[in-house]
Amino acid sequence: MNTTVLGYPRIGGRRELKKATEAYWEGRAGAAELAETAAGLRRETWETLREAGVGLIPSNTFSLYDQMLDTSVMVDAVPDRFRHLRGLDAYFAMARGAEGVAPLEMTKWFDTNYHYIVPEAGPGTRFRLADGARAKPLAEYGEARALGIETRPVLVGPLTYLLLSKPEPGAPDGFRPLDLLDSLVEVYAELLERLAGAGAEWVQLDEPALAADRTPGELAALRRAYDRLAGLPSRPRLLVSTCFGEIGEALPVLAATRVEAIGLDLVAGPGNREALGAIGGIGAKTLVAGVVDGRNVWRADLNAAMAGCASLLGLAAELVVSTSCSLMHVPLDLDAETGPDGGGLDPRLAGRLAFARQKAGEVVLIGRALREGRDAIAGHLTGPAPDGEFVNARVRARLDALGDGTARRDHAERRRAQLDLPPLPTTTIGSFPQTAGVRRARADHRAGRIDDTAYEAVMRTEIDRVLALQEDIGLDVLVHGEPERNDMVQYFAERLDGYAHTVHGWVQSYGSRYVRPPILFGDVSRPEPMTVPWTTYAQSRTTRPVKGMLTGPVTMLAWSFVRTDQPLAETARQVALALREEIRDLEAAGIRVIQVDEPALRELLPLRRAGHAAYLDWAVGAFRLATCGAAASTQIHTHMCYSEFGEIIDAIGALDADVASVEAARSRMELLADLNTAGYRQSIGPGVYDIHSPRVPGVAEMEEALRRALRAVDADRLWVNPDCGLKTRAYGEVEPALRNMVAAARRVRETL
């Protein structure tokens, strides 16, 4: 009964990787220093796993930026525009851009908060094993071996790599990167042979794309790729690992290939167990059973995991106890929180948590129990959590009393009751640039270097400045600018009961950008108003309407670690109730426009279509529960920062906000036609300029965007706004851009 983990955090316990890469980018350190830090981090990982007693240790789970980018470089899928650069310069330019060269796109890795660098491929792409014998997986395998640690190199599988690639700009219509599979597989074949030559016994090929719906053609491609690789005369044993859900039709396909092991996620994909039974097991193969959750921070129920593994015993020749996915999605080490410079988590909560290092330990314990019997780990078995430990009876009673609570007056009636604004009203999405002074004041306040009064004075001065600027620019609906918020989820999580926070619990979001997701562990409630003082202060300083600004329930869950002892839908209702109370208080304080942001609505959408309807039902229900207590006269806005709504297009209308602002500038307002088709009838603010770029858009271009929008939307339903918050931009860009935006709106108004 062996044990393994599918991957491990690579950023270091003190964010060493971030510091080293940023120092390199800024020229404060050279390539040699970066390489040294990287080697130290790899060594620490291997040694930690060895000390924990993990039987099969992975390598090549490290990356200076991203494993998909590593793969692109490894197979020489480097677009021409980067070819004049070499080595690390080319590598980082692909991720971050360089002088005159746009970076590759970045997007979310399945349903996680990790972002990968999207490969580009075209009919002319010629894959080859760049660097040959010095290719990264070979180098890292050799590095571990030199330390006396035998490892299993981990690769992004060829199918997943191509399914996540996009056609290069200018590729002919109908070209699909998957068309290049056979040539890519030959590169993998060469690599596998070299790894075997270097001594590798096992190689892991990650194919998370199998957890999403796949066409028969894609399944045939899967079959072809692994028949070829498994047919190599001299190669390591192959583990095809999957994660993030059920692999459905792909299971019999993989089972029919001659790979030696299949990895299944039994946490996010409990149905994988039945599917395995339904095909009568995988015969002579090894099953790598992902029973320890790699996506969340809760301790495993060892008894349940043991029983689960025991029930799998007859279904494969051998069983390896594993994590459900790479541990890179959880923080590194819980001990950092409970140690001397930790944040002092409530011990009752800390006792229920496990981060990456603890999870590796759990895998080892389960393996030991299965080998030696349950008694061998008796000291580690904890009883079930005490009932009702983090229960809030008041919240539960209030939700019961509310019942459905998701109905509002009809649109026409609301519109009559709401603020009277000029046609094509202008507004922004909420945040204004966060100046060094604002950030410093927040940090000083947090560290106790300035008191509440001094802090509030800085924030009020900032709010005054931002309001005066907006009045001067001539915007119609103002915002207070969010200077008090470090992060749109963390700000609220810190003000809600039921959420906890870590000090060192960083998780890589992309490159050197890490996040510290709050932990939603108990019933959520709002001890006191969260935004009312700032918003009412702002409203007291201007005669124009100020828009209150809240983060929606789905986003509050999506960017946190969330309890698993009740359905997400139930947890979402609790967050919604807190927001509903906040909206009531904002209304009572005279606020007439309130925006509830849901940028993560699409992100939690299940990977398989079969789960969409149930998800959207609770997600939309939670948003409505939060907002439908508002009076008809309160104008509810929502904001989502993307334009590819696809499967959730109907949900925008179902949210029943009065105004939705979305991204549209880059896609030239095409979304509006889709919204019409979907029967969307409320007002819409299609972002008229892209805030993700420092470029200041001209008046004519935004005027043109508005005129294009007016072809799809009546003037009395159209709002004018940028496509997201302005917090990451500088005033030097924001001010002229907003002036031009208001000028564009005025020009169009004159011709209505």
Binding site feature residues for L-methionine? 429-431, 482, 597
Helix axes 731-750, 452-473, angle to 10 degrees: 40
Task: Give the residue with the Cβ less far from ligand GLN, 126 or 439.
Answer: 439
Count of CA atoms in the C-beta half-sphere (13 A) of 215 = 5
CB 508 within 8 A of CB 549: no
Q: Which range touches Zn ion (CB under 5 A), out of 63-71, 183-191, 670-678, 722-730? A: 722-730
Burial group, residue 591, by CB count within 10 angstroms (0-12, 13-18, 19+): buried
Supply the minimum distance, in Å, between the C-beta of residue 595 and ligand GLN.
Answer: 7
641 binds Zn ion (CB under 5 A): yes
Residue 430 contact, options ligand GLN, Zn ion, none, Cβ 5-8 Å cut-off depending on partner type: ligand GLN
Distances (CA, A) of 446 to 452, 457, 515, 728: 10, 15, 18, 21
Buried b (16+ CB within 10 A) or exposed e, 232-255: eeebbebbbbbbbbbbbbbbebbb
489 binds ligand GLN (CB under 6 A): no
724 binds ligand GLN (CB under 6 A): yes
Q: Which range touches ligand GLN (CB under 6 A), out of 274-282, 399-407, 681-689, 720-728? A: 720-728
Supply the minimum distance, in Å, between the C-beta of residue 693 and ligand GLN.
Answer: 16
| CA atoms of 535 and 587, how far apart (whole Å) | 11
Tokens of 34: 């970066």
Tokens of 635: 């104008």
430 binds ligand GLN (CB under 6 A): yes
| CA atoms of 658 and 653, how far apart (whole Å) | 9
Residue 475 contact, options ligand GLN, Zn ion, none, Cβ 5-8 Å cut-off depending on partner type: none
| CA atoms of 730 and 479, how far apart (whole Å) | 17
Residue that is written with structure tokens 């990456």 in the block = 356
Q: Which of 549, 622, 628, 742 binds ligand GLN (CB under 6 A)?
A: 549
CB 65 within 8 A of CB 103: no
Q: Which of 12, 269, 331, 725 binds ligand GLN (CB under 6 A)?
A: 725
Q: Which range touches ligand GLN (CB under 6 A), out of 425-433, 435-443, 584-592, 608-616? A: 425-433
Residues between 640 and 679 with contacts to ligand GLN, criterion CB under 6 A: 641
431 binds ligand GLN (CB under 6 A): yes
CB 629 within 8 A of CB 583: yes
Q: Which of 154, 724, 726, 734 binds Zn ion (CB under 5 A)?
A: 724
Task: Give the residue with the Cβ less far from ligand GLN, 431 or 535.
Answer: 431
Burial group, residue 407, by CB count within 10 angstroms (0-12, 13-18, 19+): exposed
Please give the angle made by the CA atoms of 92, 94 and 98, to the nearest 5 degrees. Answer: 75
What does R_g of the chain's alpha carbons equal in angstroms? 27
Of 411, 501, 612, 692, catalytic: 692
Q: Which of 205, 429, 459, 664 binds ligand GLN (CB under 6 A)?
A: 429
Residues between 587 and 616 with contacts to ligand GLN, criterion CB under 6 A: 597, 599
Tokens of 199: 């001594």
Q: Where are the alpha helices (DSSP H) in 263-381?
A: 271-278, 302-312, 335-338, 347-350, 356-372
Task: Give the residue with the Cβ less far from ligand GLN, 263 or 433.
Answer: 433
Catalytic site includes residue 115: no
Supply the minimum distance, in Å, between the C-beta of residue 276 and ligand GLN.
Answer: 40
488 binds ligand GLN (CB under 6 A): yes
Supply the minimum distance, in Å, between the C-beta of residue 727 and Zn ion.
Answer: 10
Q: How would you list the strands of the sheet with 151-156, edge to edge?
A: 2-3, 318-323, 286-292, 261-265, 237-241, 202-206, 151-156, 57-59
Task: Give the residue with the Cβ less far from ligand GLN, 176 or 692.
Answer: 692
| CA atoms of 675 and 661, how far apart (whole Å) | 12
Residue 549 contact, options Zn ion, ligand GLN, none, Cβ 5-8 Å cut-off depending on partner type: ligand GLN
3-state secondary structure of 673: helix
Contact code string over 210-239 relative to Zn ion, x by CB under 5 A: ------------------------------
- The 3-state secondary structure of 40-74, one letter per residue: HHHHHHHHHHHHHCCCEEEECCCCCCCHHHHHHHH
| CA atoms of 596 and 604, how far apart (whole Å) | 17
Beta strand pairing call for 151-156 and 166-167: unpaired
Q: Which range touches ligand GLN (CB under 6 A), out of 106-114, 376-384, 527-535, 724-732? A: 724-732
Give the number of other CB atoms < 10 A from CB of residue 71.
27
526 binds ligand GLN (CB under 6 A): no
User: For 697, which DSSP code?
Assistant: P
Supply the minimum distance, in Å, between the C-beta of residue 426 and ligand GLN.
Answer: 15
Count of CA atoms in the C-beta half-sphere (13 A) of 612 = 14
Supply the minimum distance, in Å, between the C-beta of residue 600 and ligand GLN.
Answer: 9
Residue 319 contact, options Zn ion, ligand GLN, none, Cβ 5-8 Å cut-off depending on partner type: none
CB 659 within 8 A of CB 617: no
Task: Give the residue with the Cβ less far from ligand GLN, 93 or 724.
Answer: 724
Contact code string over 457-486 relative to ligand GLN, x by CB under 6 A: -------------------------x----
Residue 463 contact, options ligand GLN, Zn ion, none, Cβ 5-8 Å cut-off depending on partner type: none
Task: Give the residue with the Cβ less far from ligand GLN, 269 or 430.
Answer: 430
Q: Which range touches Zn ion (CB under 5 A), out of 322-330, 537-545, 635-643, 734-742? A: 635-643
Return the H-helix or E-strand segment holding 204. strand 202-206
Q: Which residues contact 666 (CB under 8 A, 6 or more apart)?
A: 643, 690, 723
Task: Give the residue with the Cβ less far from ligand GLN, 193 or 603.
Answer: 603
Return the H-helix or E-strand segment holding 322. strand 318-323
| CA atoms of 529 and 541, how far apart (whole Å) | 20
Q: Which range touches ligand GLN (CB under 6 A), out of 37-45, 535-543, 708-716, 723-731? A: 723-731
Residue sitting closest to ligand GLN (CB):
725
Q: Which of 727, 734, 735, 748 binds ligand GLN (CB under 6 A)?
A: 727
Supply the minimum distance, in Å, between the C-beta of residue 483 and ligand GLN.
Answer: 11
| CA atoms of 435 and 499, how far apart (whole Å) | 28
Task: Give the residue with the Cβ less far from ligand GLN, 168 or 597.
Answer: 597
Binding residues for 5-methyltetrahydropteroyltri-L-glutamate: 15-18, 108, 559, 603
Residue 205's nearest CA partner among 176, 248, 236, 245 is 236
Binding residues: 15-18, 108, 429-431, 482, 559, 597, 603, 639, 641, 663, 724
Residues between 571 and 610 with contacts to Zn ion, criterion CB under 5 A: 599
Task: Give the residue with the Cβ less far from ligand GLN, 429 or 672.
Answer: 429
* Amino acid occupying residue 737: A
Q: Which residues contact 106 (CB under 8 A, 6 or more apart)?
A: 95, 115, 116, 117, 118, 510
691 binds Zn ion (CB under 5 A): no
Task: Give the residue with the Cβ less far from ligand GLN, 162 or 742.
Answer: 742
538 binds ligand GLN (CB under 6 A): no
Task: Give the residue with the Cβ less far from Zn ion, 289 or 724.
Answer: 724
Residues in touch with Zn ion (CB under 5 A): 599, 641, 724
- What are the catalytic residues? 692
Residues contributing to the site for ligand GLN (CB under 6 A):
429-431, 482, 488, 549, 597, 599, 639, 641, 724-725, 727
